Amino acid sequence: MTNKNFSHRARKRFGQNFLTDTSIIEKIVKAISAKPSDKIIEIGPGQGALTELLLTSDAELHAIEIDRDLAAFLREKYANISHFHLHEEDVLKVDFSSLLSAEQPARIIGNLPYNISTPLIFHLLKYLAGVKDMLFMLQLEVVERMAAVPGSKSYGRLSIMVQYYCQVEKLFNVPSSAFSPAPKVESAIVKLTPLKQTANELESPEQLTNLLRQAFAQRRKTLRNNLSSLISAEELENLGINPGLRPENLSLDDYVKICKHLH
């Protein structure tokens, strides 16, 4: 998968753990199932383990890599491939509107560094009008939080915000032994498919962000306590919501209902 003459020491500051297990790589590529008509954005291609196979699909591939040594390696390796485009940038600072369009929604994939995975997911949620789907390798704990259901320990702000925007599907786990260097945590592959507009849609999703920040400020306290500055216990009861519940016991629909009442 990589050039035998190229040696690169994983850089801790970029959270680099390179995927080396060919069976896992092939499983991910199969899950992506890229077509020539696809536009794919790969975040953190690293040494090109996934890139190599994705390019065989003839899909238009945009790779975003912050590490200048890896960027130079990829630029040289794929110099003669016209459908490969390299962007040497910090992905958290990328203006995705320049890469995305509603006319040709892109597919975003990547083995995301653990240290930026959650802020990056929130960053990408702003651009979903130009996204067909997203397939990410993330820390298993993060994937479980994204897919969590009300009442579970993993359920929280991340679960609700991601599920407001996307259908969340956990595909499979990836052992730490599939990477070099091996991380101390297990990983998983998750597929996020943007939802079409629904009756649940809020005028400003920022309203939901602010409500959740307040609701989950202290997980062990009840809604009556956490939301007292925003809504009374009586108002919650009128909405059919028990103010004695803890924040993790409410569904996405419940939070949307509270938002609509407040705004």
Q: Looking at residue 15, what is its pLDDT?
A: 45
Q: Which of 203, 215, 213 is nearest to 254 (CA)?
A: 215
Q: Looking at residue 216, what is its pLDDT?
A: 95
What CATH number does residue 63 fall under? Answer: 3.40.50.150
Q: Looking at residue 9, what is its pLDDT?
A: 54
Out of 165, 194, 223, pick the residue that ends a domain. Answer: 194
User: What total of structural domains would you count in the chain?
Assistant: 2
- Residue 3 in any domain: the answer is no
| Residue 214, phi then psi, degrees to nearest 5 | -75, -45
Q: 45-91, pLDDT tens digit by residue?
A: 988 889 999 999 999 999 999 989 999 999 999 999 999 999 999 99
Q: Looking at residue 182, what is its pLDDT?
A: 78
Q: What is the mean pLDDT of residues 152-181?
A: 92
Q: Is the backbone of residue 35 left (phi > 0), alpha (psi -120 to 50) or beta?
A: beta
CB 243 within 8 A of CB 233: yes
Report cis status (omega within 30 of 0) of the bond before 181.
Answer: yes
- Residue 63 in any domain: the answer is yes
- Asked if 166 and 224 sit in the same domain, the reply is no
- Residue 6 in any domain: the answer is no
* Structural domain harbouring 235: 205-262
- Asked if 50 and 127 sit in the same domain, the reply is yes
Q: Which residues contact 51 (CB under 8 A, 6 or more apart)?
A: 42, 45, 61, 63, 74, 78, 84
Q: What is the mean pLDDT of residues 28-57?
A: 94
What's this model's pTM, rounded to 2 decimal places? 0.88
Q: Looking at residue 201, what is its pLDDT?
A: 83
196 band by pLDDT with thresholds 50, 70 and 90: confident
Beta bridge partners of 189: 137, 172
Mean per-residue pLDDT over the chain, rounded = 89
- Asked if 129 and 228 sit in the same domain, the reply is no
- Asked if 174 and 248 sit in the same domain, the reply is no
Lowest mean pLDDT among 16-20, 77-81, 142-146, 184-188: 16-20
Q: CA 113, 114, 120, 121 torsion: positive or negative?
A: positive
Q: Which helix (H) or strand (E) holds 107?
A: strand 106-111
- Asked if 257 and 145 sit in the same domain, the reply is no
Q: Looking at residue 4, what is its pLDDT?
A: 44
Which residue has tokens 């591939």? 61
- Asked if 52 and 182 sit in the same domain, the reply is yes
Q: Looking at residue 198, what is its pLDDT?
A: 66
